[in-house]
Amino acid sequence: MSLLQSATEVRERAYAPYSRFKVGVALRTPSGAVHVGCNVENVAYPEGTCAEAGAIAAMVAAGETVISEVLVIADSPDPVPPCGGCRQKIAEFAAQDVKVTLCTTDGKEMVMTVAELLPGVFTAAHMERT
């Protein structure tokens, strides 16, 4: 199944009673496995989690830690970009040249790389002193 199909399907299962903004994410790993996630909101609003976080948690729970491709979809006027925190979460597991496809439910698409989404990413190297 394509990332677009997987993300479209999981988006339907998003729990977003407060924003009414459902987001679906599908990511592929080098093994070819696809992991999906949707946003899960909470009445205590800051406790809600993004679709990207869900897909990454599913990947890690399945024993994988490398993202080779990601796709995000929402019913948005323009292709929906991952929020700032999710850009950092994606960058934890994806190389700088990994493709992130931003989609709308009505078929608009935009492709960016992890580097383009998060220039100046904080990495473990920033914690090293030589």
- Residues forming contacts to ligand THU in the complex (CB under 6 A) are 16, 19, 21, 23, 39, 41, 48, 50-52, 82-83, 86
Closer to ligand THU by CB, 48 or 79: give it.
48
Closest CA to 96 of 73, 76, 125, 61: 125
* Of 17 and 32, CB closest to ligand THU: 17
Shortest distance, CB of residue 16 to ligand THU, whole angstroms? Answer: 5
Following DSSP, what letter does each residue of 40-72 receive, concatenated? B--SSGGG-B-HHHHHHHHHHHTT---EEEEEE
Q: Which of 9, 12, 47, 52 is catalytic?
A: 52
What sign has the CA pseudo-torsion 55, 73, 80, 42?
negative
Q: Is 52 a known active-site residue?
A: yes
Residue positions annotated with a catalytic role: 52
